[in-house]
Structure 1
Amino acid sequence: MKRRQIIAFLSAAVVSCLIAVGWPFMTPSPVLAQSNVNLLVSAAASMKDALEDIKPLYQKNNPNINISYNFGASGALQQQIEQGAPADVFISAAKRQVDALEQKGLLLPGTRAILAKNRLVLVVPKNRTGVTSFYNLRDANIRRVAMGEPRSVPAGQYAQQVLQKLKLLPQIQPKLVYGNNVRQVLAVVESGNADAGLVYSTDAKISDKVKVVVAADEKYHSPIIYPLAVVKSSKNSNAAKEFVQFLTTDNQVKAVLRKYGFILP
């Protein structure tokens, strides 16, 4: 065999081997090109049921996007992000927490939007009678009133504002018991361990163990809105931006939010 033929033969053999072992300089396979992306969404506890319903709607058309949720009090989630905990998207139950992250440069510019609005309501256990207004919270037979911890739970902040406006806070302060998030407050009232509680109307809607006494007048508290944004440290910012776009524009999402009693912005 001539020298030139031998060289050509060896070159072809080497290329064949490189293709066989998947040499990294070759064109990536479709499997690698479509590798899964994991999105972690830190969201207010009051959004839990709605977001769980929204998840399969998104993944139906985006099967390579895995969505995980981290639910909790908005203030606690804010602190986690400030301390470097992983998160791709943040959904708060109040403007204050998103403002704080934005001021510290921890959110991706241009990704902030409002997802929904809500109402604050006074609830009591289903079988309790005799409570018809916030002023009944002063009654002797109302021994424990549950609300969110105002320093970290937006529902608690709104509740505190309402009680202050109605000049009830000093009188019922000794009765107050605090929850780490609004779902804890709901659970305490459901169990009868509190005689009344202040939660969102969407929380009351999912429970058959409590009843709504009255909705707080919106002039007595800050607007209850759910802002969301992409976290600047996200390693999947493009996928996170697409998910935020879906949450704020898709008609199926709007239908789910309405089903759970959220008010669209």
Structure 2
Amino acid sequence: MIIRLCICVYVAFSALPAVAERPVTVFAAASLSTVLGDIVAAWEGPVSVSYGGSGLLARQVALGAPADLVLLANPQWMDWLVQNGAIISDTRQDLLANRLVLIGPAGATQIPNPTLDKILKILGNGRLAIGQTDSVPAGQYARAYLQDTGLWTGVQHALAEAENVRVALSYVARGETPLGIVYATDAKAEQQVTAIFDIPPDSHPAIRYPLALTTTAQNSATDFLNFLLSAKASAIFDAHGFIPLQAAQ
């Protein structure tokens, strides 16, 4: 009787399904929302991605949000996560680079040299859409460019600061603002805007997208990180206008 009971208990427990790992949870900069959709589609496993401004995402991770992998648009926020002990520093590396552009509505005329007078004339009573300059990397890069070229003082009163770069992009796409400063990849992803000036890369800090595993990352997150570094993923990033920085294997 005892032997039969033990056998029954063993069979009952062995019949239970194995506990599967939850989907890999990625916190990613908003400017990656289009390309990561294609990356996730090419990955052979469940992935959940939350997008937002890099500063907001970094703060959430530091407070214990359940992220496995973080992919931001500014190394400074990743530095901050390292200081707060929220990521595994050995897994950190720069994945991508990007560029800034000045945008207008679809079909807008190119501006070879956007002086203050030209910008203010186009703006009229409108505003210049950029990311929040205190926390959104695209906004911080835009401010650096405007300061470097002496435009900051003249346009500071006319800024429309958005919670992330994709919101700034949408302001121009919907005609709510006549001009905006976004990443080149954002302009490429939105048919309702036109890049009217390529902002010189030496006018602002280099745009880098660092990634790292969090200290609470599950095992499958390492596999997804390795996929992001693969030749297949690099080709997808390149097709969307990003500049892969890691040598694809």
Letter aligned with residue 135 of structure 2: S
Larger radius of gyration: 1
Which segment drifts farther, 123-132 or 205-214?
123-132
TM-score after normalising by structure 1: 0.86
Q: What is the rounded CA distance, in whole Å, between the counterparts of 1:124 and 1:12 in structure 2? A: 78
Partner of 2:76: 96
Bigger drift between 192-201 and 130-139 goes to: 130-139
Unaligned segments of structure 2, at least 5 residues: none
Q: Name the stretch that deviates more: 164-173 or 75-84.
A: 75-84
- Which residue identity does 1:218 align to in structure 2? P
Question: In the alignment, what sits opposite 1:80?
Answer: 60
Give the 4+ runs in structure 1 shifted more than 6 A: none
Show CA shifts across 1:183-235 (max 9, x none). Answer: 0011001111111100000000011111111111111111101000011133x
Within the alignment, does 1:69 sit opposite 2:49 as a pair? yes
Q: Number of residues paired by the alignment? A: 242
Are the equivalent residues in 1 in contact too, given 2:213–2:221 (CA < 8 A)?
Answer: yes
Amino acid at match of 1:102: V
Q: Is the 8 A contact 1:45 1:73 kept in 2?
A: yes
Cα separation, 2, equivalents of 1:149 and 1:71: 16
Query: Deviation per CA, 1:2-43, whole angstroms, max 9, x where unpaired?
Result: xxxxxxxx3542333223322xxxxx569416x243221000
Say which of 7, 15, 20 aligns to 1:16. Answer: 7
**More divergent stretch after superposition (157-166 vs 106-115):** 106-115
Say if 1:218 and 1:130 are closer, same or farther in 2 by CA, change over 3 A: closer
Q: What's the Cα RMSD here?
A: 1.8
Amino acid at match of 2:5: V
Q: Conserved in 2, the CA contact under 8 Å of 1:39 and 1:240?
A: yes
The change in CA–CA distance for 1:155 and 1:141 in structure 2 (over 3 A counts) is: closer
- Please give the per-residue CA displacement for 1:71-96, whole angstroms capped at 9, x wherever unaligned: 00001101111222221111000101
- The aligned amino acid for 2:129 is A
Q: Which position in structure 2 is the counterpart of 1:191?
A: 174
Matched residue type, 1:19: Y
Residues 49, 30 of structure 1: alpha-carbon distance in 2 compared, 3 angstrom cutoff: farther
Using the aligned pairs only, state the percent identity.
33
Which residue pairs with 2:222 in the alignment?
241
Q: Is the 8 A contact 1:150 1:156 kept in 2?
A: yes
User: Aligned-pair distance for 1:242?
Assistant: 1.9
Q: Which amino acid aligns with 1:244?
A: L
